[in-house]
Structure 1
Amino acid sequence: RVALDYALDDDHLLYASAGTGYKSGGFNRGTSQAIYDPETVLAFEVGSKSSLFDRRLRLNLSAFYYDYEDLQLAQIETGPGGVIENITRNAASSEIWGLEAEGDAIPYPGALLNFALGYLHAEFERFPNVLDDLTGQIEDLSGNRLVNAPEFTATLGFEPYTFVFSNGATLVPRVQLHYQSAAHLRVQNKPEDRRDDFTRTDLRLRYSAANESWFAEAYVENLEDRSVLSSVSTGTLRIGPPAPSFKGTFMAPRVWGLVLGARF
């Protein structure tokens, strides 16, 4: 890996990097014993890091490009005898590139705003001869998007005020909004593999002692209580005549709780 950076001044930094990576191959456990090849990647990144408006705004920008050969993919497949297995397979070549912006700002004294935006292009350039467990057909998946690779993502967090008590303790409320555009959860990119775009809201209220020796934080995650798929897989029905089955795993529903912590 080679990396260069150049400081324009105390508040602006430019950087660029190029490198290669290697992940060894191996063989799968279980009934299939299928062998998978090593994975290699050629990676480039350029970006900037800036502090603006008397350092009331921190802004990081980056652009990246990854060129994979024999990308290793973890998949859930039906092996011999209808046994469901975790399998690693290779995609002949894949291309990933994107743009990212992230930072934080102080809109007024006592407040804090965090943000992150991302655009992602992630597709298989060559991925022929792939078996779809659901249909039993061999397909060419070249041009399909990678699994769980939404085109757009955005996160916005806001702490409207830090309340400081006379004893030095603090109370900080926080709200965080997250958005992901639609994504496919299997390499086949079929309509049944698609997860629609979604938003999620998290709330937190944190009390910290003056010397930060202990804290208490109440939280609510997934305030909307949305049912959002995190993964899907295929298998074989165990009841009745053997037939393909389709199942999904969901992200956590609305969760709330209280966290207590201390430093010793």
Structure 2
Amino acid sequence: MCRWLAYQGDPIYMDELVYKPEHSLIHQSIDARKAVTRVNADGFGLGWYTERDTPGIFHEVMPAWGDENLVSLTHHIRTHRFMAHVRSSTGATVSRSNCHPFVIGNWMFLHNGQIPEFDSVKFELERRLPEHLYLRQKGTTDSELIFLMMFKHGLLENPANAIQATFDEIKQQLNKKGIEDPFKASICLSDGENYWIARYSTDEFPPTVYMQQTEHNIVFASEPLDKASKWEVIPAQSLLYVVGKKCLLINCCELSLPFQLLYE
């Protein structure tokens, strides 16, 4: 399983979260504490927003802990919203095109988890994509396919419904193939203004996502970045809609219900 973090708030240098905390994302790439796979060495990626129309992106296939370019980039880039990801492959090749986050236009997406027996359902899920989305696919991961499926299901009009519809379609195909292993997903999605954070699984054990909030910012991470600060676990089977530092919670199984205010 991969590890990731996302930040939104007052501008900071990215190394303040990627490197400096006692259990930073770089530390998690070597020694994850809340994942089946402790080492995440199959590439990494950064995505960040500035005043430009589209986000910046950096991918590399080296282990994150040994890349000097990453040290320099995170030390010098200051941003109000960014995502970072260290990868542990569940079968797809190690390549830049398979590293997160994935970007289309102003949308950015990353994922921890997996579609079980992906090779058995990949063809059916891909062939259901419209041609213009199928041709956007650059890599071979289930994660990128999930992102493209969200566009098919109306991401631009209603992200929450698109996320649920994508999860439902994946579950339907797994059921058709008789695949009983769970589909797991902790995802982070942004349009450059807001975040959507989902923690979901077809069993009772979705990948972990934690949140830390102050008056100046909000941070999401697969694991707490330190022991001194207060970190709250995001409830299982839930979707957070993050506007500024306000988070709205919805049950992933009841997306027709109104959002409930969880944090403010």
Q: Which has the higher contact order (CA 8 A, sep 6+)?
A: 2
Fold match (TM-score > 0.5)? no
Larger Rg: 1
**TM-score, structure 2 normalization:** 0.29
Query: Whose helix proportion is higher, 1 or 2?
Result: 2
